[in-house]
Amino acid sequence: MRGHRWSADPNGKFVYVSPKTLTYVGQPAENLDRIEGTDDCGWRQVVHPDDYDRVAARWLHSLKTGEPFESEHRIRHFDGTYRWFRNAGMPSRDDHGRVVGWYGTMIDIEEQKQAEAELRDRERELSQLVDMVPGHLWRLTPDGEPIFFNKRMVDFLGLDVADTGKPGMSRLEAAIETVVHPDDAAEFSDALSRCLVTARASTCGIACAASTASIAGCRAARSRCAIRADASSTGTVSVTT
């Protein structure tokens, strides 16, 4: 079976820890048990200090409630290095529904965590580049949900994409009402809808409201609006003014 296996009694005392796990951490099973009469666990010594309190609280909660246990945290190899694992345990119950034991598996997810960190770094670099674009840029999901305003647009509007929500309206409707002049809203909405349906680029002329002006008074501040569907797998749509 893939992963590191373990089982425990209803109180969290280990009944079984796979030899593979014990070899990995370089500790005997008895050193990993919950310390009797306390909420502390012997496996504190093999869990990263920054993760231990969170993981222990989740494990104690599962022991108390019988809810499945799941956590992602770093485990120390016997050589002192840490790797990320996904640890999951399910309760075993008797005919009366009482928990009589726990069975779990730890799976190494270090490569996944590294890939996620690299993706975050690339996204951060992309955001920095986007903020340098000499225009107002916002992105939408394939369903038309605004998910991003670049810094220039945030500064221009005086609000971020998360601030555009209004009761009884979709975020897109609220964003259009907030950003686009009423006289241009219908044309912009039609162009955007065509792009969302056909994935073809479109352009239109619109006026946008700056944070220092009423939307009715910004008619002269017109600009060309380019709407483009992303060719990547994300399927997002970009709007640039």
**What pLDDT is attached to residue 183?**
81
**What pLDDT is attached to residue 140?**
77
Question: Could you report the per-residue pLDDT of 177-212, keeping only the tens digit for each?
Answer: 877 778 888 887 887 777 777 766 656 555 555 444
C-alpha to C-alpha distance for 140 and 57, rounded to whole angstroms: 38
CATH class label, 133-240: alpha beta
**What pLDDT is attached to residue 206?**
57
Q: Give the position of tokens 């280990």.
A: 14
- Count of residues making up the chain: 241
| Residue 229 near residue 129 (C-beta atoms within 8 A) | no
Task: Report whether pLDDT(235) > 50.
Answer: no
Q: Count of CB atoms within 10 A of residue 23's CB?
A: 12
| Residue 210 near residue 202 (C-beta atoms within 8 A) | no
**What pLDDT is attached to residue 220?**
33
Query: Where do the domains of the chain lie?
Result: 4-113, 133-240
Fold match, 4-113 / 133-240: yes
Task: Report whether pLDDT(159) > 80.
Answer: no
The average confidence (pLDDT) of the chain is: 79
CATH class label, 4-113: alpha beta
Per-residue 3-state assignment (H helix, E strand, C coil) for 44-63: HHHECHHHHHHHHHHHHHHH
Q: Which residues pair with 108 in a beta bridge?
A: 85
